[in-house]
Amino acid sequence: MSTGYLIGIDCGSSSAKSVIFATDGRIVGLGQARVAQITDTPRHVERDMPATWRIVASTIRDALADAGLTGTDIAGVGVTAHGDGLFLLDRNKQPLGHGIMSLDSRAYGIHDGWKSEGLLDRMMPVAGQRPYPYSATTLLAWIKRHEPERFASIGIVFFAKDWLRYCLTGKIATDLTEASTAFTDLHSQSYSPDILSALGLSEISAALPPMLDSCALAGTISAEASALTGLAEGTPVSAGLHDVTAAAVGLGQVRPGDMTVTAGTFSINEVLRDHPVIGTEWACRAGYRKGLWNCMAISPASASNLEWMARYVAPDDPEAAARLIEATIAKFATGRTERQIPLYHPYLFGSPFETPATASFLGVQSWHDRADLFRAMIEGTIFNHRHHVEDLLQTGGVRQIGISGGGSRRPEIGQLFADILGRPVMTSPVREAGALGAALTAAVACGLAPSLEGAVDALHMQPRQFEPDAALARYYDAVYGRYLAIARVLEPFWPSLHSDQGDDYPKAEPQHEKLPENLAAEAAPSLAMPGSGKVAPPPSEAATAPTITQTMTAAIAATQAPAVPIGSIPLQH
């Protein structure tokens, strides 16, 4: 790859970063700032769009100053930001209200109405996923119903990174990874009129922006953006990426069969495929170019659990989670099979199960100490990743597994991932994977690299490899079997453990739009089987749900049977 510097902008749920990279992936400059969330209304989590842009512009200036560079030293710019949600412009291309973040829950009533009418499942064969409560389509349906004047004023439908790129270039566009979170046909990877019609949103079709491959040139830095950021007018800007995909690219995961496991606020697990694979346990979205798909299994049940515990153990120490990980790792020398550790289900904020779940410790004894409980939490979050990884293995073979977040840069944690997953894993020295992924798309857009694969191959990264310890892998197979079986025993009790939501909880709102006949015929109430291209009949609605006693009996039996080792599924060659 030729010489030059690249900027990757990563605007997450709490902060924005602008990172300057050399073309070999080295960080040479960083600017970072907090970005406020607006939570004035219950269940609304929003962002002031102009304020967010001003903050991002300031981080670009700070990054240039940190690197001792000027705008003319920058060859290209790439942008990523928190995915899903909704950022709207009016017909004059001005912000239409606040941007809505993926943490927003106002549209749960719309979502539950769609679910009760079977619409979510009928979307699967066409969209490759069910809309989420925070999906752009669900939020648009909420706005149409509750803010009709705002809905009628929509000129452009954006996602967070599209708004920032528009501020940089003045050009309207989105990219394939972002558009596929809500609006595209799984197979053609183009906008789907059927999806819009089914969800009662046909009138916003004209507001959907042109859709580009992530590495395409989306525009250049405008004179206005140059004055605010210090970047040179005319600097190329790529289309960019959804944040989940950007992080995978930054770790070097760009080829079919590459799996990425990210332990952050969410448990993010994804694998690239060269064909679409539909299943109920994952979303199948578009990859960074046409002809590539990303199967993603996600739940809000990962390292956020460790942060939660740290806040209670040391509320005044912002580094408490890292310190607790260090203290726990110091006791890893004690053989895991020689010391019984409690089980922990990391469902503080959500889980892979449809039933609203709760977190729990099981097997706690009087002699357990804080390090034992924290180790249980670390193991529990990795068990949750394994839950998703096992689902994703149904989509095909795996070439390699990259791990990031959750303390995985420590070799002890990297090894723990390998032992619990029962598979070889690698960790990367990259600190800002999302920003690097965005920057690498800019390398292609400005001509410094021939392709994203080529840009990744030019990086001077030395990932660290971890092989599972055979004895510990067998041990963790049994522990994971108990972990999963107990979760299924507890599942019937979870609803009663949740506090009463009262009248303030969003009620299911019925869907009044009629499903188009062609979509109804293609996707009658049924589910596509992974990789088969066929649909299986739905389970009988008349079937009687198992009693709690039956569930417990079956789960106890499962704990007495050997778990199927995840490593028994061979690596793809």
The set of residues, in sequence order, having a beta carbon less than 8 Å from that of 552 and lying 6+ positions away, is 489
Q: What share of the chain is helix, strand, coil (3-state, %, to 5)?
A: 40, 20, 40
Residue 510 lies in a domain: no
pLDDT classification of 265: cutoffs 50, 70, 90? confident
Q: Which residues contact 546 (CB under 8 A, 6 or more apart)?
A: 554
Identify the band that residue 508 occupies on the pLDDT scale cut at 50, 70 and 90: low
Query: Which H/E stretch holds residue 60?
Result: helix 49-67
Q: What domain count does the chain have? A: 2
Average pLDDT over residues 172-191: 98
> Does a structural domain hold residue 523?
no
227 and 264 housed in the same domain: no
According to the model, what pLDDT value does residue 521 have?
40
Q: What is the CATH number of the domain that holds 141?
A: 3.30.420.40
In this prediction the pTM is 0.85
Cα separation, 122 vs 127, in Å, equals 9
Query: Which of 431-435, 503-507, 545-549 is modeled with the greatest confidence?
Result: 431-435
> Lowest mean pLDDT: which of 143-152, 224-233, 465-474, 537-546?
537-546
Same domain as 313, residue 174? no
C-alpha 51/C-alpha 36 separation (Å) is 9
Confidence band, pLDDT 50/70/90 cuts, at residue 442? very high
Together in a domain, 265 and 197: no
Looking at the structure, do residues 326 and 230 belong to the same domain, yes or no? Answer: no
Do 127 and 108 reside in the same domain of the chain?
yes
Kindly state whether residues 103 and 238 are assigned to the same domain.
yes
Do 177 and 111 have their domain in common? yes
- pLDDT interval class at 500 (50, 70, 90): low
Helix (H) or strand (E) holding 6, with range, is strand 5-11
Domain range enclosing 443:
5-252+430-457
Classify residue 536: in a domain, yes or no.
Answer: no
CA 128 remoteness from chain centre = 16
Residue-wise pLDDT for 353-373, tens only, equals 988 899 999 999 999 988 899
Q: What is the mean pLDDT of residues 443-463?
A: 94
Same domain as 444, residue 295: no
Q: How many CB atoms lie within 10 A of CB 460?
A: 10
Q: Is residue 524 part of a domain?
A: no
Percent of all residues in the chain with a pLDDT value above 90, rounded to a whole number: 72
Q: What is the pLDDT of residue 334?
A: 61
Which residues are CB-neighbours of 321 under 8 A, at least 6 positions away?
Answer: 303, 306, 307, 309, 310
Does some domain include residue 518?
no
Is position 157 within any domain? yes
My answer on whether 182 and 268 are in the same domain is no
Q: Once rounded to an integer, what is the mean pLDDT over residues 55-76?
A: 98
How is 65-125 classified by DSSP, letter by letter? Answer: HHHT--BTTEEEEEEEE--SSBEEEETTSSB-S-EE-TT--TTHHHHHHHHHTTHHHHHHH
The answer on pLDDT for 522 being more than 50 is: no
Query: Are both 390 and 448 inside the same structural domain?
Result: no
Do 438 and 419 belong together in one domain? no
The reply to whether 18 and 96 lie within a common domain is yes
The predicted model gives 100-105 an average pLDDT of 92
* Residue 98 pLDDT exceeds 50: yes
Q: Lowest mean pLDDT: which of 154-163, 200-209, 452-461? A: 452-461
Highest mean pLDDT among 289-293, 319-323, 462-466: 289-293
Q: Assess if residue 293 is contained within a domain.
A: yes
Residue 310: inside a domain, yes or no? yes
